[in-house]
Structure 1
Amino acid sequence: MTTVTSPVAGVAVGLAAVPDPVFSSAMVGPGTAVDPVRQPIEAVAPVDGIVVSLHPHAFVVVDADGRGVLTHLGIDTVQLNGEGFELLVSKGDTVGRGQALVRWNPVAVEEAGKSPVSPVIALEAGTDSLASVLEDGSVDTGTTLFTWK
């Protein structure tokens, strides 16, 4: 079983409330999302593993069981071309849960007309493979968002 923790502090929101049909319909995979606190923050690894994909606005960490967890920092933030995001690790790095991977500012994302809501997705997982999915309430960085059976 893989425990996936929040990469940012904020308020948990269910995927259905994410303002992007690709995420809200779980096309990318099941999971949840976090509406982050409005201040400059660091997004951290939600699991121990290897960074297999790294963009200013999104990253995937694959754990020892081969399970990939996507963290997407905001919606349509790819259109910002990295503006306001600072990478703190490199693709291929081994990281520990809670290790800072990207520094960013949700306020700047909002000011650019984008939503800072950040989906956390279990890639290639069946919808019934997640348990205890957190879909509301405040979360701290490191709060368990869901478990992957």
Structure 2
Amino acid sequence: MTTVLAPVAGAAIGLAAVSDLVFSQGMVGPGMAIDPERRSGEAVAPISGTIVKLHPHAYIVVGDDGKGVLVHLGIDTVQLRGEGFALLAAEGDRVLAGQPVVAWDPAAVEAGGRSPVCPVVALDAGDGMVGEVAEGRVDAGDPLFQWA
């Protein structure tokens, strides 16, 4: 069982509520999303492992068990080309769960006309493998869901 942590503080919501169909229909996998607090801060590693992909707006951490978790900071934020994001780690780095990976400002994302909602996805997880999901407010580093 892998405990996946909330990468940012905010309100835990189901992926079905995400405005991007790729996430809301579970095309990349099951998980949760967070409607973040509208203040600048750091997005943290959801699990301990290696950062295998790192873009300013999204990152994937793969644990020693091979489970990969995608964190996507906002919707359509790839269009920002890194503006408003600061990398705090590098691809290939080993990170501990809760370690800062990217600094960003959800309020600035929203002010630019994009959703700051953050999908957190268990990549390649099968149906029914994600459970014990958080409800309501979470802080960065709080348990978000369990991955069997």
User: Shorter-chain TM-score: what band?
Assistant: over 0.9
Uncovered stretches (5+) of structure 1, i.e. residues with no partner: none
Say if 2:44 is the partner of 1:44. yes
Give the equivalent residue in structure 2 for 1:32: 32
Q: In the TM superposition, what whole-angstrom CA distance separates every residue of 1:28-71 from its partner, at most 9, and x where no partner exists?
A: 10000001111101000010000000000000000010000000
Name the CA distance, whole Å, in 1 between partners of 2:100 and 2:13.
Answer: 22
DSSP-derived class of the 1:128 partner: coil
| Deviation for aligned residue 1:143 | 1.3
Deviating runs (4+, > 6 A) in structure 1? none
Which amino acid in the other structure matches residue 136 of structure 2? Answer: G
Name the CA distance, whole Å, in 1 between partners of 2:31 and 2:119.
Answer: 7
Name the CA distance, whole Å, in 2 between partners of 1:102 and 1:29.
Answer: 22
Give the equivalent residue in structure 1 for 2:98: 98
Uncovered stretches (5+) of structure 2, i.e. residues with no partner: none
5 Å matches for 1:55-134? 55-134=55-134
Question: Aligned pairs, how many?
Answer: 148
Percent identity between matched residues is 61
Which amino acid in the other structure matches residue 141 of structure 1? Answer: A
Q: Normalization by structure 1: what TM-score?
A: 0.98
Which amino acid in the other structure matches residue 122 of structure 1? Answer: A
Pairwise CA RMSD of aligned residues?
0.6
Give the equivalent residue in structure 2 for 1:23: 23
